[in-house]
Amino acid sequence: MPLSAGEIAAGVRARELRAVDVVAAALERIERADPELCAFVEVWHEEALRRAGEVDARLGRRAGDVPRKREALPLAGVPVAVKGRHGLRTAGPLLAAGCVAVGATSVPGPGTSWQTWGLGARGRTVNPWRADRTPGGSSAGAAVAVAAGLVPLATGSDGAGSVRIPAAWCGVTGLKTTAGRLPSADRTGLAVQGVIARSASDAASWWRVVSEEPVPTGTPVPVTAVWSSDLGFAGPDPEPVALARAAVERLVAAGVVRLVRPRAPLRLLDPGPAWLALRTHGADRGEAHRVRAENDRRLAGLFAEAELLLTPTTPTAPHGHDGPGDRYSTSLTWAFNLSGHPALSLPAGFGGDGCPAGLHLVAPHGREALLLAVAREAEVRVGS
């Protein structure tokens, strides 16, 4: 199993590992696996090795160097994949922290439905658990690269579930941040930065760097939570619901969360038409703003009674490469792009088709640290 981001950074800072060797190993894994997975659209071999050498130099690792005071590089030597060919635009804090960008991951290609799959340099991106299934999108290659162990971290963006859905369907952790907390080029405010990682601890390392906010250890548990299988409007399939609910029960048994019954069941208005109106040039947005305001009111009421909302991440299992038909994989995620709440997908087990499913955690605005702390407790206590 490849090292985690935390293990890599600690080893490079302690001079037990060389960043150049770590990055070379990641590039070798990509070269070996990507012809089948198609997770990357570009791989930056020479540039990545050059930057890794710079990290070693900053830590006094060049041959013949006199050891000097080492810089604080919290992610020293960590290989990171960035979403799409323009992903470096938001990767500045990671590079400054010592990460080395090894390539750009796949996103949907021309004429490809954005909620479905990715298109790498060698063809369609496949789910690492079943090549005949989609990994989800649009951060498709990011999730595949992390799930396959090619890199420990990959950046993403999430406008309707584009980090959380592929994280769920590839069996890794995916975090969507609060709207407005980090820079975004999306004028609608729906799309925000996020990360895909093999563990909550690595996702927390990303968050500490990009937000400069600590993620406390020893968060008091259990955390109060409300469960909803459908948010009052979605029609999820039985299996993703059962897998997510079983994951909740494991968290309850381990003392990570405590389920509470709200005074009124959570019933959101279907955010789909509102989301689409906000994305469509020239559309009448009056109804969209009404739906957003009403759902915000209902969510505020829920978060006055509980700290977390728990749902399945997706309404279905991963579909084939011919597409989902008329079913949207976003039905349980895009409500929180409309509302701006931070959310995280945590692995929730495997369905009968052998593909992973996710448990979706939603927190009040600005509470990314709570999501990450709960996810980390889940990994420690339950092994999620």
DSSP readout, 174-243?
Answer: EEEPPTTSS----TTS--EEEEEESSHHHHHHHHHHHH-----SS--SPEEEEE-SSTTT----HHHHHH
DSSP state of 328: -
C-alpha span between 154 and 96 (Å, rounded)? 16
Catalytic residue among 83, 139, 329, 339: 83
Q: What is the CATH number of the domain that holds 350?
A: 3.90.1300.10
User: Would you state the pLDDT for residue 102?
Assistant: 98
List 175's β-bridge partners, or say none.
Answer: 195, 344
174 and 287 co-located in one domain:
no
Identify whether 138 is a catalytic site residue: yes
C-alpha span between 91 and 99 (Å, rounded)? 9
Specify the 3-state DSSP secondary structure of 162: coil
260 and 362 co-located in one domain:
yes
230 and 322 co-located in one domain:
yes
What does the pLDDT look like over 167-219, one tens digit per residue?
A: 999 999 999 999 999 999 999 999 999 999 999 999 999 999 999 888 777 67
Strand-pair category, 223-227 with 257-259: parallel
Per the domain annotation, does 218 fall within a domain? no
What does the pLDDT look like over 260-274, one tens digit per residue?
A: 999 999 999 999 999
C-alpha span between 185 and 273 (Å, rounded)? 22
Per the domain annotation, does 272 fall within a domain? yes
Per the domain annotation, does 125 fall within a domain? yes
275 and 197 co-located in one domain:
no
Per the domain annotation, does 170 fall within a domain? yes
Residue 314 CB contacts under 8 Å (≥ 6 apart), including other chains: 136, 161, 165, 168, 169, 236, 240, 329, 332, 333, 357, 358
252 and 344 co-located in one domain:
yes
Per the domain annotation, does 174 fall within a domain? yes
Catalytic residue among 106, 162, 205, 384: 162
User: Would you state the pLDDT for residue 60?
Assistant: 87
Strand-pair category, 119-120 with 223-227: unpaired
What domain range is 172 assigned to? 5-211
User: Would you state the pLDDT for residue 61?
Assistant: 58
271 and 376 co-located in one domain:
yes
Strand-pair category, 343-350 with 173-176: antiparallel
46 and 195 co-located in one domain:
yes
Domain boundary among 165, 190, 211: 211
165 and 19 co-located in one domain:
yes
Domain boundary among 171, 190, 211: 211
Identify whether 162 is a catalytic site residue: yes
CA dihedral sign of residues 340, 346, 347, 352:
negative
16 and 162 co-located in one domain:
yes
Per the domain annotation, does 65 fall within a domain? yes
202 and 270 co-located in one domain:
no
Identify whether 83 is a catalytic site residue: yes
What Cα–Cα distance (Å) separates residue 286 from each residue in 188, 274, 289?
14, 9, 5
C-alpha span between 288 and 300 (Å, rounded)? 18
> Cβ–Cβ contacts within 10 Å for residue 83, how many?
29
Specify the 3-state DSSP secondary structure of 317: coil
Residue 207 CB contacts under 8 Å (≥ 6 apart), including other chains: 175, 177, 195, 213, 215, 368, 369, 372
Strand-pair category, 343-350 with 308-312: unpaired
227 and 202 co-located in one domain:
no
202 and 318 co-located in one domain:
no
> Tokens standing for 172?
């890794």
User: Would you state the pLDDT for residue 109?
Assistant: 77
Domain boundary among 211, 246, 275: 211
What Cα–Cα distance (Å) separates residue 27 from each residue in 22, 62, 99?
9, 21, 14
User: Would you state the pLDDT for residue 67?
Assistant: 46
Catalytic residue among 4, 106, 138, 139: 138
For the question of whether the overall pTM of this predicted structure is more than 0.85, the answer is yes
What is the count of structural domains for the chain? 2
Per the domain annotation, does 217 fall within a domain? no
User: Would you state the pLDDT for residue 110?
Assistant: 72
Per the domain annotation, does 216 fall within a domain? no
Instruction: List per-block mean pLDDT (blocks of 10 residues) for the chain, which spans 384 residues.
Output: 94 96 98 97 98 95 49 92 94 97 91 68 94 94 98 97 97 98 94 97 97 79 96 97 98 97 95 95 93 98 97 96 84 98 98 98 97 95 82
